[in-house]
Amino acid sequence: MPEQHPFTPQTRRQLLTRIGVAAGTAAMYQAMTAMGHAAGTDFTSPPTLTGARKGTTVLVLGSGLAGMLAAYEMRKAGYNVRVLEFQNRAGGRNFTLHSGDSFTELGGASQSVKFAPGNYINPGPWRIPYHHQGLLHYCREFGVALEPFVEVNHNSYLHATNAFGGKPQRYRDVMSDFNGYTAEMLSKAVNQHKLDDILHPDEREHVLAAMAGWGTLDSSYRYVKSDRVSQRRGFAKPQGGGIDGAPIPSDLLPRDEIMASGLWNWLSFNMRLEMQTTMFQPVGGMDQIGKAFAKQVKDLITFGCKVSAIHQDDKGVSVTYTDVNHGNRTVEAKADYCVCTIPLSILSQLDVQVSGPMKAAIAAVPYASSVKVGLEFNRRFWEEDDQIYGGISFTDQQMSQISYPSHGYFSKGKAVLLGAYMFGSAAYDFAGMTPEQRIEAVLEQGSKIHPQYRKEFSNGVSWAWSRVPWTLGCCSMWSEQARKTHYKTLCEVDNRVVLAGEHASYIGCWQEGAILSSLDAITRLHKRAIGAA
């Protein structure tokens, strides 16, 4: 047999898979960036748009963040801008449900938010990564107060139905024991010279020292119950004062159960670039961002405009819409150019006069189904009973996760947590339920992690994105092939129309994607308008 070259050619998928297994998803994301499959946020500063021809008009369709930002920057550049919005509020998917709000989803089910004053839930975006500098720039510019969002909490829970008798385990216990057992196995392999083919002799001692420190191994490179290990995973009897203050080390979770549980999958969740600390949230709810944007362009927005057609020729763009706030009359708006931020799930159903390739691109991107459930409880039992302050608990049940509020710590009275956040088949299952059935299912599943659920529950509300008439889904879900075939076309200026939104970015499902897409779109359109492109 001929000797195999150590650098045998691989497909990109194979290479990415191996990088992901070896170094985690953060490394894989960076590799994808280098290959052109993904991109981090590249914001440095707002664009400088100069030379706009006086009197040039622009129609912006949609007053989500992408639409409002386009209107804000283009007006600054000297364009005459008008924004048409279907709803009677600005912000799009950036919004918050507060006490007294009500809504009706497709199918006719209506819900009223009965939270105590000051409590809220964010059905859409709910956290901001530190490197989403475009969004953070405009938060600073528009005066949006931000506070830390706690993503990782070592005292939260990891739960698998068929592991550890169905009992949830503390995040720190699973992490400490998984790391310890893994370090022990690797140390054994090093000591038994089973890795000599990949370890240089000078590396051997360094690897052993690293494993001992990383996995809190003893002098024999064993992961065993000890005071030192309990300094990470916690003590069975914590350190105290006085005569009986000595701590008692905690028992380790069995190695075979740790490995079989699959709970270690969640340990790498926060290695993903977009989930790394520090993260932020607006004080008072995510809608504070939408409101701050709207304050800049509120005089430009006409609400209640249900767009049905977008036509264009070499001279301009005409948009036909139903004025739902004034007798459902049909209206035609004209402009020289159009920035369209309507979600592709809706736009694909409209009469849009664009090129064949652009139509194909618009139709090529499905939208994810997602469901969130907000639960209000009579007290903060997760803090008072379980010492959990912010962060997320994960489970293999359909509800997927529980996110604890990152504000109002130690306060008395009612409080709201995100009791479920799901995508995929689970989201479709829940979307098919009534709102009451969703709440009941989440209470049943959540009780497996927090037995206090039933006793402390006050009220709840659910949001199923596939049942939202103005978006029909949560966010765009590009496939690798669709992005390769259609993405560039989707972002190009089609005669006098350009699209913007998270769907026209490599940061889909994030507000930063909407911000960067909008800035890119108006820069391209500006060049087209002044004859530079």
Report the DSSP beta bridge partners of residue 317: 312, 335
Decide if 513 contacts 506 (C-beta within 8 A).
yes
Burial 87-98 (b: 16+ CB within 10 A, else e): beebbbbbbbbb
Distance between start and end Cα atoms, the chain? 58
Q: Give the C-alpha separation, 445 to 43, whole Å.
A: 41
Domain 170-261 has CATH 3.60.20.10: no
Q: How many CA atoms lie within 13 A of 185 on its CB side?
A: 9
Position 41 scores a pLDDT of 61
Position 418 scores a pLDDT of 98
Q: Domain 57-91+295-366+477-529: give its CATH superfamily.
A: FAD/NAD(P)-binding domain (3.50.50.60)
Residues 6+ apart with CB under 8 A from 336: 56, 57, 58, 316, 317, 496, 529
Decide if 180 contacts 273 (C-beta within 8 A).
no
Q: Structure tokens of 243?
A: 């005569």
Q: Structure tokens of 416?
A: 């709201």
Angstrom CA distances, 419 to 96, 103, 161, 191, stand at: 16, 19, 17, 47
Residues 6+ apart with CB under 8 A from 357: 486, 489
Q: What is the signed CA dihedral for 189, 193, 194, 196, rounded to 10 degrees?
A: 120
Task: Give the type of residue at 527.
Answer: K
Residues 6+ apart with CB under 8 A from 161: 395, 396, 397, 448
Q: Structure tokens of 214?
A: 């990383």
Residues 6+ apart with CB under 8 A from 299: none
- At the topology level, CATH places domain 97-126+368-467 in Polyamine Oxidase; Chain A, domain 2 (3.90.660)
Phi, psi (deg, nearest 5) at residue 130: -65, -25
**Domain boundary assignment for the chain:** 1-34, 57-91+295-366+477-529, 97-126+368-467, 170-261
State pTM to two decimals. 0.89
One fold for both 57-91+295-366+477-529 and 97-126+368-467?
no
Sign of the CA dihedral 268, 274, 279, 281? negative
Q: Please list the pLDDT of the chain residue by residue as tens digits (533 residues).
A: 333 333 333 343 443 343 344 334 333 333 333 333 334 467 889 999 999 999 999 999 999 999 999 999 999 999 999 999 999 999 999 999 999 999 999 999 999 999 999 999 999 999 999 999 999 999 999 999 999 999 999 999 999 999 999 999 999 999 999 999 999 999 999 999 888 888 888 889 999 999 999 999 999 999 999 999 999 999 999 999 999 999 999 999 999 999 999 999 999 888 888 899 999 999 999 999 999 999 999 999 999 999 999 999 999 999 999 999 999 999 999 999 999 999 999 999 999 999 999 999 999 999 999 999 999 999 999 999 999 999 999 999 999 999 999 999 999 999 999 999 999 999 999 999 999 999 999 999 999 999 999 999 999 999 999 999 999 999 999 999 999 999 999 999 999 999 999 999 999 999 999 999 999 999 999 999 999 76
- The 8 Å CB, 24+ separation contacts for 328-334 are 331/305, 333/59, 333/82, 333/84, 334/57, 334/59
